[in-house]
Amino acid sequence: MTIRTRFAPSPTGYMHIGNLRTALYEYLIAKGNSDGKFILRIEDTDQKRYVEGATDIIYATLKRVGMNWDEGPDIGGKYGPYVQSERKEIYAEYAHKLVELGGAHYCFCSKEEADEEKDEEQNIKFEDPCKNIPLEEAKKRIEAGEPYVIRQTINKQGKSKYHDEVYGDIEIDYDELDEGVLLKSDGFPTYNFANVVDDHLMEISHVVRGNEYISSTPKYNLIYESFGWTPPHYVHVPPVMKDAQHKLSKRNGDASFQDLIAKGYLPEAIINYIALLGWNPGTDEEIFSLEELKERFSVERLNRSPAIFDIVKLTWMNGQYIRKLSEEEFYEMALPYIKKVITRDVDNKLLSKVLQLRVETLADIPSQIGFLEQVEDYSNDLYINKKMKTDGEISKQALGYAAAALEQTEEWNNDNLFAVLKHVAEEKGLKNGQIMYPVRIALSGKETTPGGATELAVILGKDESLKRLKNALLKLG
């Protein structure tokens, strides 16, 4: 069997983390096989929720994380169109055929009620009971222009039984299933019908979706059965949770993929992290590239329990990815964030180098480097440090020695400046920290900085560094 999976998002806004995880699992199932195909299909039948530009966001997101599709609206394929709103005639044909096969029936309503449809479940008043209208009479009324919908017929007794790759064998009573609308009066199908028709016609072998669809799957299987089609393999996955009680939801202000990117998270780290929200490799390993995930992923290791989205864990993982970047790669990413804050002439290359070892996200950068633009007023108590054995008087002496030595220094690089200050400490009978710590405070006005004393001096340059040391001496009296 050729593995064919599909990601079928609705173009309703940003890419939610749960949706992106579904796409990732679909992608990995397909790409774990040499001839597997990953299909992109746009499910836009709910026109009321359509957001202009959302399809472009879907394209851009998948490309940015490296999940390229084999067939889709933009590149085509032999099973197109790949946009549901362009397949209305196909759905109409199969909906009417399903009525003929006994798997659905017509329901009629007034034009006024049809015009006032509120949602795809058609919460309007239909003739009751719809199924008692003879088929020939129904066809005549349709030809006469009466508004109608096609609703699924469920008249089976007993239980529906099917197998899910995550939850195993599932049984659901048929009498628990509602006879939902399959084709609306505007000619658009509902999700419950369109996904079955499309998955069959596009020869989808595996369907990944949230476990909230477990109870609806028997309805889909009845449609497959009426047409004599073979259902796909079902892979229902648990939700991604904000905490033990609440699902992760954009409506509640939870982060989308685009939000995380804006907050300075790397696409590779996000993909790595969400892969582990419901799947585990069976080892203690946590860092996986997309290529490694293709090799390691298996449906058998998907979990049944909901996964908690832990921003602290994602942040840690993002830091690991930042550290793995080459210096040049990180510099290109960091420079826009540096330029948001720094307008003076500083050594951006060295600044980027020291930041790479210390930041967890790119968005951490501005808050860590503001002092390079201007030293804010600070308390002299910062010079008091028991660990470094400094106080106000020692710091004043140390800064005086450092300023005098640095003013005579021509070779302004980190190694040379460190050697100069270390020599000053030895000459004056001080410990290295008793020189370095006060210098770092004088240059930054901060207790913690992304670089040491000599690194900050190189980043700021000689003139600015000496200016700040002299200002600090005046501040200390």
By annotation, the residues acting in catalysis are: 250
3-state secondary structure the chain: CCCEEEECCCCCCCCEHHHHHHHHHHHHHHHCCCCCEEEECECCCCHHHCCCCHHHHHHHHHHHCCCCCCEECCCECCCCCCEHHHCHHHHHHHHHHHHHHCCEEEEECCHHHHHCCCCCCCCCCCCCCHHHCCHHHHHHHHHCCCCEEEEECCCCCCEEEEEECCCEEEEEEHHHCCCCEEECCCCCECHHHHHHHHHHHCCCCEEEEEHHHCCCHHHHHHHHHHHCCCCCEEEEECCEECCCCCECCHHHCCCEHHHHHHCCCCHHHHHHHHHCCCECCCCCCCCCCHHHHHHHCCHHHECCCCEECCHHHHHHHHHHHHHHCCHHHHHHHHHHHHHCCCCCCCCHHHHHHHHHCCCCCHHHHHHHHHHHHCCCCCCHHHHCECCCCECHHHHHHHHHHHHHHHHCCCCCCHHHHHHHHHHHHHHHCCCHHHHHHHHHHHHHCCCCCCCCHHHHHHHHCHHHHHHHHHHHHHHCC
- Report the distance separating Cα 328 and Cα 352, nearest Å: 9
- Report the distance separating Cα 198 and Cα 82, nearest Å: 9
- Report the distance separating Cα 355 and Cα 340, nearest Å: 15
Lookup: tokens for 477: 């009296």
